[in-house]
Structure 1
Amino acid sequence: MACSNCGTATISFAVPEEYRTDAPSAASVVSFCPHCLTLEPATGEATQTSEGDPEFTRVSDGFPTQPARAVPLALAIGLCSSLATNRTAIELLLREVERAGTDPLLVLDRLVADPSVDPAIDLERRRHQLEQLLY
């Protein structure tokens, strides 16, 4: 599937039941763009590596590849377009990323610095706001 925002091939992944309310349209499968970091409901099945995990290695070297870390982080980034509306969900998702052993703010720093990533939102500004939200 191609991203409707930038045309890049997306990463489709299954959304665990506990995160479905945070997914676009409460979708069971969503597509995440590794270039502009947008998130949309997917019409097909999840794409996987030979190990059975989503292809998060396509996002950036700084993005986690383990689903327990990458899925809530991708969902949180997808919700950042409306921080005021999604504040509670974003905070909970980022806490899940932290519990899984990844610093979400460090990942956002790396995404901002990665020239292959061109977020659809002002990720640098959102990163500052998320830091205030978490601490």
Structure 2
Amino acid sequence: MSCPDCGGDLVSFPVPADLQQFLPGNAPGASVCQSCLTLEPETEPPTAVPDFTGLDSSIPDNDGAAVPLVLLVGLLDSLAMHRAEITALLERIEREGVDPLLVLDRLDASYGEAAHVDLGRRRRQLEQLL
């Protein structure tokens, strides 16, 4: 399957029930583009543990932080609309022992202008939000 925004390859993954509230719609999973980090709901995700090795190495190996981090990046297109969700995801990622702002810095360095949002600018806005 290809990304509707850039045509890049998608990585599909199941979203745990306690995180599905952060997805648009009622999908049980999501897909993230390896090229631009766009997040799409996935109605038929794989049942296996998510494998984000096709994404940047900045994505943590810790499954408890990886899925919330990918969801966070997918919601950064609108801080105003997703403020509550973003705040909750940031807190969850930090509880897993991962610095989400540092990961965003690394993703910005890797993806740059290819990302669906300006990750550097969003990172600065998140600092103000926190």
Q: Same fold (TM over 0.5)?
A: yes
CA deviation profile, 1:54-91 (whole Å, cap 9, x unmatched): 12121111111322111111111111111001101101
CA deviation profile, 1:12-46 (whole Å, cap 9, x unmatched): 11111111111121311110112211111124332
Root-mean-square deviation (CA, aligned residues, Å) is 1.7
Counterpart of 2:95 in structure 1 is 99
Question: What is the aligned length?
Answer: 130
Change (3 A) 1:122 1:20: same
More helix by share: 1
> Counterpart of 2:77 in structure 1: which amino acid?
S
* Structure-2 separation of matches of 1:91 and 1:33: 23
Matched, 1:8 2:8: yes
- If the length of structure 1 is used for normalisation, what is the TM-score? 0.88
Counterpart of 1:44 in structure 2 is 44
> Counterpart of 2:119 in structure 1: which amino acid?
L
Report the identity percentage.
48
CA offset at residue 117 of structure 1? 7.7
* Structure-2 separation of matches of 1:11 and 1:38: 11
CA deviation profile, 1:94-134 (whole Å, cap 9, x unmatched): 11111111100000000111158821111111010111222
> Counterpart of 2:3 in structure 1: which amino acid?
C
Q: Secondary structure at the match of 2:12?
A: strand
Alignment of 1:1-135 (within 5 A): 1-46=1-46, 52-115=48-111, 118-134=114-130
Q: Secondary structure at the match of 2:13?
A: strand
